[in-house]
């Protein structure tokens, strides 16, 4: 896959948020009349597109009847040793940043605390957070294959 595209209300806030997740901007450009960029990190590429006059996104995580793209998922198995500690550090960092600059950062919204999930014969540790536009992101680690 080349990239996943994310529409955002504020591209500058979105870039700052995804940079905290170790993404880096690789290309800035415009699409018609709006700002956009490609960011790479965590083994993939995302495209951020700023939307003029944005409307809130549907609640893909909380609405059990929602149909459509659900979330992006990032495998942290080879990057971290404890998902709960990683999530706590991210939450602390965003809390500090939101106190210093509330126009750029918001406290982290955790949609699902880390928990174990068995898929096939593999045991995963999974957690969900919301990005700066409220879109769900999954982070997982393989615990046992």
Q: In terms of domains, do 27 and 85 share one?
A: no
Distance of alpha carbon 61 from the chain centroid: 13
- 1: CATH: 3.10.180.10
Count of residues for the chain? 145
d(C-alpha 97, C-alpha 67), whole Å = 34
Q: In terms of domains, do 32 and 94 share one?
A: no
Per-residue pLDDT tens over the stretch 105-145 = 999 999 999 999 999 999 999 999 999 999 999 999 999 88
Q: In terms of domains, do 74 and 110 share one?
A: yes
Q: Kindly report the pTM of this predicted structure.
A: 0.94
Q: In terms of domains, do 26 and 79 share one?
A: no
**How much is the pLDDT for 33?**
86
Q: In terms of domains, do 41 and 96 share one?
A: no
Arithmetic mean of pLDDT, 71-85: 96
Expressed as residue numbers, the domain containing 109 is: 70-144
Judge whether 90 lies within some domain. Answer: yes
Judge whether 7 lies within some domain. Answer: yes
Q: In terms of domains, do 84 and 119 share one?
A: yes
Per-residue pLDDT tens over the stretch 13-46 = 999 999 999 999 999 999 888 999 999 999 999 9
Which of 115, 124, 41, 39 is CA-nearest to residue 77? 124
């Amino acid at each position: 896959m080349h990239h996943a595209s994310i529409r955002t209300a504020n591209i500058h806030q979105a870039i700052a948020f995804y940079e905290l997740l170790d993404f880096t901007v690789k290309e800035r450009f415009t699409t018609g009349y709006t700002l956009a960029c490609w960011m790479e990190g965590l083994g993939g590429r995302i495209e951020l597109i700023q939307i003029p006059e944005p409307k809130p996104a549907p609640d893909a995580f909380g609405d059990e009847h929602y149909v459509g793209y659900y979330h992006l998922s990032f495998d942290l198995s080879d990057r971290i040793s404890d998902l709960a500690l990683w999530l706590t550090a991210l939450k602390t960092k965003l809390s500090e940043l939101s106190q210093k600059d509330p126009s750029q950062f918001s406290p982290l919204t955790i949609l699902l605390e880390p928990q174990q999930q068995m898929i096939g014969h593999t045991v995963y540790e999974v957690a969900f957070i919301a990005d700066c536009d409220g879109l769900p992101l999954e982070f997982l680690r393989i615990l046992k294959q």
